[in-house]
Amino acid sequence: MIIGIPKETYENENRVSITPDTTSKLIKLGFKVNFESGAGTNSFFSDDEFIQSGAIRVSSAQELYNSSEIIVRVQRPRSEHDLSMIKSGSTLISFFYPLIDPMISRYTSDRGINVLAMDLVPRTTIAQKMDALSSQMNLAGYKAVLIAANELGKIFPLMMTAAGTIRPSKVVIMGAGVAGLQALGTAKRLGAIVEVSDIRAAVKEEVLSLGGRFIEVETDEDMQDEKGYAKETSDEFLKKQKELIFKHITGADIVITTALIPGKKAPVLVTEEMIKNMRKGSVILDMAVEFGGNCELSEQDKLVEFHGVKIIGYSNLPSMIPVNASELYSKNVLSLLQHISKEGKIEFDLQDEVISSMLVTYNGEVKLPQLLEKLKLSK
């Protein structure tokens, strides 16, 4: 089977879905690999590197899609033009977020395109190497701290000088998932005092082990699903949480929000009232801005200022580290293809836990139960 590596079409997307190093490994597995000219340019991988790894260069996106049976992208196609180029019967592998935009899934189903969503990799031991969400959010948590630190008019660490002592900055992180824990570790290494809030009491030990202080909301509710993700909270819990974190946020120099609920709009955790009470010159970085935002005043892909507080809403932080982000994503895809293929051909075993969790559409049918329900409601 021929794997196609197209140029990413999203604005500000610098990653490439497969790197030259991974290309050579896919060829050893029995695949052929085509790439669109310039596909790796923004992530500093040249056409020559792809050619040396055994890939074949094609000059246009249309030619690439026509010649490929498996399309590997980072971002899902958003436009009908992008989708229309994918052949019926071919397989698309990318971040897809089917519950956020269900109509794209209906289109791929009608066209007979098989979709494997990299955002739906199950959190199991066997699938760890395929977990692209974790690999990308790890990098995003690191970059978030650096961006926020750069906008803050203070240094992070305690510093004792002849002119006096500089107190360390205080960082509050909302959400202790992969991104939040990496942000915690990075901020601690830079010398800040770090507090972390999460609705899942189970993550408290991880926060403490990394040197953070855990902001805990007392509740009898079970706030974690069977996959380890945060559940959607009740209004009563959300009210309790906001009351508790008010004093922590208003006393912070930097607030980084990472809270997401799969398939749902991101919960608003930082209100305008909180922002009004923060110190002038403080910084908020909203990592959930693409999915509605955790901060009431954040704007997607913009740095804005309200009430003397800078609010950063950059939606694609991994793309700002395109070399490492592409390398990790590419390895995630390689691990997936090693798992689901034999002698250069994908085998769709619908009983396989990995495939059944990731498969959005197959042979003209929607396969994801939650999506089926959503599509029924949208009719």
Residues assigned a catalytic role? 123, 128, 131, 134, 229
Q: 275-310: buried (b, 16+ CB within 10 Å) or exposed (e) per residue?
A: beebeeebbbbbbbbbbbbbbbbbeeeeeeebeebb
Side chain identity, residue 22: T
**What is the CB neighbour count within 10 angstroms for residue 190?**
17
The two most distant CA atoms of the chain are separated, in Å, by 72
CA 70 to chain centre: 22
Which residue do the tokens 């799969």 mark?
262
Strand partners, 270: 295
> Crossing angle for the helix pair 178-189 and 132-151, nearest 10 degrees?
40
Which residue from 128, 112, 131, 129 is spatially nearest to 120, judged by alpha carbons? 131
Question: Taking Cα atoms as reference points, which of 282, 301, 281 lies closest to residue 290?
Answer: 301
- CA pair distance 159, 167, nearest whole angstrom: 7
By C-alpha distance, which of 314, 309, 245, 312 is closest to 272? 309
Task: Let me know: does 144 contact 255? Beta carbons within 8 Å.
Answer: no
Q: What's the DSSP call for residue 229?
A: P
Distance (Å, rounded) from C-alpha 236 to C-alpha 366? 35
The DSSP-derived string for 236-277 is HHHHHHHHHHHHHHHT-SEEEE----TTSPPPP-B-HHHHHT
Rounded CA separation 151/165 (Å): 22
CA distance 319 to 335: 21
CA separation for the pair 54, 216 (Å, rounded): 53
DSSP secondary structure, 94-114, as one string = E---TTTSHHHHHHHHHHT-E
